[in-house]
């Protein structure tokens, strides 16, 4: 078996949390509630971007 590096990206986690929170705040403003869409957006986009492998260093 080959040992491969797991697909983890700390910078993607940080960027995903920021972008998800901002996107959630913007979209949440249209629905009247800004807190929960920001929290959910940060969690979902942060987790998705954490799994993205940016390639070799």
**pLDDT tens for each residue of 1-37:** 555 666 677 788 899 999 999 999 999 988 889 899 9
Domain count, the chain: 1
Answer yes or no: is 1 within a domain. no
Answer yes or no: is 56 within a domain. no
Q: What are phi and psi of 7, to 5 degrees?
A: -80, 90
Q: Whole-angstrom Cα distance, residue 50 to residue 57?
A: 16
> Global pTM?
0.75
**Domain hosting residue 29, numbered range:** 10-50
Q: Whole-angstrom Cα distance, residue 7 to residue 12?
A: 11
How far the first Cα of the chain sits from its last, in Å, is 23
Answer yes or no: is 4 within a domain. no
Answer yes or no: is 20 within a domain. yes
Q: If DSSP states are collapsed to H, E and C, what string results for 32-49?
A: CCCHHHHHHHHHHHHHHH
Answer yes or no: is 55 within a domain. no
């Amino acid at each position: 078996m080959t040992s491969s590096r797991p697909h983890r990206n700390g910078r993607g986690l940080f960027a995903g949390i920021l972008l998800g929170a901002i996107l959630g705040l913007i979209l949440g403003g249209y629905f009247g509630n800004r807190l929960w869409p920001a929290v959910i957006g940060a969690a979902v986009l942060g987790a998705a971007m954490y799994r993205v492998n940016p390639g070799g260093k």
